[in-house]
Structure 1
Amino acid sequence: MQLVVGKIGRAHGIRGDVSVEVRTDEPELRLGPGAVLLTDPASTGPLTVESGRVHSGRLLLRFAGVKDRNAAEALRGTVLISEVDPEESPEDPEEYYDHQLIGLDVVLLDGTPVGELTEIVHLPYQDLLTVKKADGTEVLVPFVSQIVPTIDLENQRAVITPPPGLIDMEQAEVAGTSSAERGEDSEESE
């Protein structure tokens, strides 16, 4: 099983360091010294991590054979891929690898089907689940316990409790409208 773990950004300095956009929860394991990574495009790899460090909040890596800025800049945009045993799981039972989640059926708490989980989008502060609905549209679901309370790998499903409007726009409430504007009865005092 292959797991995308990063994407190479700009060259840093003159000795071959590159900034890396991290796409794994385990950078110390997947991007640590000695890690051998496949690449996309394949013509740039495999790459072996020589060293790594954090500078100004960004991960900088140096790869074997990449000795100067020009060689580092040539790697810009390259996707880094790690080979992972399909049976491997994170140590924390509340964490999952992307490949464990992709393809899960997404259902509401009452069992109503929503769609299929097709991608995990890793953002700096939170992950989003891309769910493809039966009508072909996609919706992004924040991967937080309040909205995704259950991941059931045994039954291949993710249970969600979305707020109104996240899955079905008809359920959305318009913020700031009065009950009269929403067509609700209200008692007025005279």
Structure 2
Amino acid sequence: MQLTVARIGRAHGLRGEVALELRTDSPARRLEVGATLATDPASAGPLTLTRVREQHGRWFVAFAEADDRTAAEALRGVELVVEATADAEEDAWYPHELSGLRAEHVDGTALGTIAGLEHLPAHDVLVLVEESGDRTLVPFVRAIVPVVDVDGGRVVIDPPAGLLASDAANMVASEETDGASSGRDTDADKA
């Protein structure tokens, strides 16, 4: 199975350099000058790294196969992929391992099924399809997802109030949140 290391972003400069949207926790190990990476779609590669640099937490690379801005811009959206290997790292899961897992509340109540993982700027989120069919994005942080049991086929979620779509039916709106009264007299109130 192939795993995405990075997605190629916009061209940077005139000499074929591109910005990367990382999908790996170890970019220095995966992105070394001389490394050849497969691509998705496969027709865009393989690509060989000729320059690699990090600047203010962002990664920029150049490929032997794209030596100018036009060629680099044509690679935008292409994913750099590697073959999956057995990884003994604790608390590390691949998106394909999470998809299809049963989601349970910390009290044991069934919440739905995990449909996937999305990479957002702040952090990753689990895509939860609730029992009602509603789609909810759950921040994939230990405080909200304390248990990931791939072998057991489940994740345990401890959602804050209001996170789940099913919470909407149980929420009580106060005057402050429903806009019913601002405490000020209006012309309509005086009539």
Task: Please classify the TM superposition score into its range, dividing by the shorter chain length.
Answer: 0.7 to 0.9
Stretches of structure 1 that go unaligned for 5 or more consecutive residues are: 182-190
1: CA distance, partners of 2:34 / 2:110: 44
Per-residue deviation at 1:106?
Answer: 0.8
How many residues were matched structurally?
A: 176
Paired letter, 1:109: V
- The reply to whether residue 172 of structure 1 matches residue 159 of structure 2 is no
1: CA distance, partners of 2:157 / 2:9: 35
Q: CA, structure 1 residues 35+118, in 2 after alignment: closer, same or farther (shift >3 Å)? A: farther
Paired letter, 1:146: A
Which of residues 102, 105, 118 in structure 2 aligns to 1:105? 102
Paired letter, 2:71: A
Per-residue deviation at 1:177?
Answer: 4.1
Which of residues 87, 102, 105 in structure 2 aligns to 1:89? 87
CA contact (8 A) 1:164 1:173 kept: no
Moved segments of 4+, more than 6 Å: none
Per-residue deviation at 1:99?
Answer: 2.5
Q: Which protein has the bigger helix share?
A: 2
CA contact (8 A) 1:118 1:132 kept: yes
1: CA distance, partners of 2:35 / 2:96: 20
Paired letter, 1:166: L
CA contact (8 A) 1:49 1:62 kept: yes
Per-residue deviation at 1:49?
Answer: 2.4
Q: 2:169 is paired with a residue of what secondary structure? A: helix
Q: 2:29 is paired with a residue of what secondary structure? A: helix
CA contact (8 A) 1:89 1:97 kept: no
RMSD: 2.3
Per-residue deviation at 1:119?
Answer: 1.5
Per-residue deviation at 1:162?
Answer: 0.7
Which residue pairs with 1:124 in the alignment?
A: 121
CA contact (8 A) 2:96 2:116 kept: no
Q: CA, structure 1 residues 21+176, in 2 after alignment: closer, same or farther (shift >3 Å)? A: farther
